[in-house]
Amino acid sequence: MKNYTIRLSTEAEEDIDNLYDYIANELMLPFTADKYVGGIFETIEKLSVYGGSIPINQRQYLQVNYGPGARTVTYKKMTIVFNVIRNAIFIRRIMPGSMVL
């Protein structure tokens, strides 16, 4: 089985930071924020093994904004958008699933 290197875009890092801040500070649930963001990172880490086997997402929004090879995986209500580029998984964004039209 192929192992991929995981790379996060600046936007994806900001998405994670903003999500953590929202849960920890606005909702005042720091333990929940740690657990939720930890789950997102676990999901991303698993992509290093099976990311290439996930089919390309055909939704027009993703194809236009993230390229014809955009793929997605979900963690609870969040969608992780990524591309497979050679031996790397490039995480583009982490957004609410409701935004993926």
pLDDT digits (tens, 9 = 90+) for 65-100: 999 999 999 999 999 999 999 999 999 999 998 887
Report the CATH architecture of 5-99: 2-Layer Sandwich (3.30)
Task: Identify the CA nearest to 80 among candidates 95, 70, 58, 65.
Answer: 95
Q: Please report the pLDDT score of residue 70 as a whole number.
A: 96
Question: Which pLDDT band, with edges at 50, 70 and 90, does 101 fall under?
Answer: low
Domain ranges of the chain: 5-99
Please check the confidence at residue 1 and state whether its pLDDT lies above 80: no
Quick one: average pLDDT of 13-33? 97
What pLDDT digit, counting tens, does each position of 47-71 carry? 999 999 999 999 999 999 999 999 9
For the chain, give the mean pLDDT: 95
How far, in whole angstroms, is CA 83 from its chain's centroid?
10
Q: Is 7 within 8 Å of 82 (Cβ atoms)?
A: no
